[in-house]
């Protein structure tokens, strides 16, 4: 991994950038090694819906979301809380595990904590 003060918009062609946001209608089905994935993040105590999606659209970027709904189920919990919004380190864990295993269930198990209210179907009854 390299870090730079330059914007990703200045470093890569727009058509090669995919902005990951939980509000995207597009599901990330696979990682394309020729694409650059931007992990949109906010440092805030509350979740602001659509902010990262609006930013990506303003920059004319492709968007995608992790396939949480496709592979996980809502777990019953006392607060009836379910969120697909993850911290940057959780998204990174999901992507890293998927890249190594090519398994979304394994990747989501590694990065999505049970506190988000989602579990894999095989653990829903536990």
**Residues annotated catalytic, as ranges:** 44
17, 8 Cβ separation under 8 angstroms: yes
Return the closest-CA partner of residue 85 out of 62, 63, 52. Answer: 52
Return the closest-CA partner of residue 58 out of 43, 46, 44, 40. Answer: 40
Sequence-distant (6+) residues with CB within 8 A of 54 are none
């Amino acid at each position: 991994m390299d870090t730079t003060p330059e914007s990703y918009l200045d470093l890569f062609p727009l058509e090669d950038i995919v902005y990951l946001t939980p509000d995207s209608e597009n599901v990330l089905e696979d990682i394309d090694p020729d694409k650059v994935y931007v992990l949109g993040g906010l440092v805030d105590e509350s979740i602001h819906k659509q902010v990262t999606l609006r930013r990506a659209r303003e920059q004319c970027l492709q968007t995608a979301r992790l396939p949480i709904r496709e592979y996980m189920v809502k777990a019953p919990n006392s607060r009836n809380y379910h969120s697909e919004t993850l911290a940057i380190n959780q998204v990174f864990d999901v992507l890293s595990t998927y890249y190594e295993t090519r398994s979304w269930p394994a990747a989501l198990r590694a990065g999505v904590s049970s506190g988000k209210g989602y579990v894999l179907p095989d653990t829903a009854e536990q």
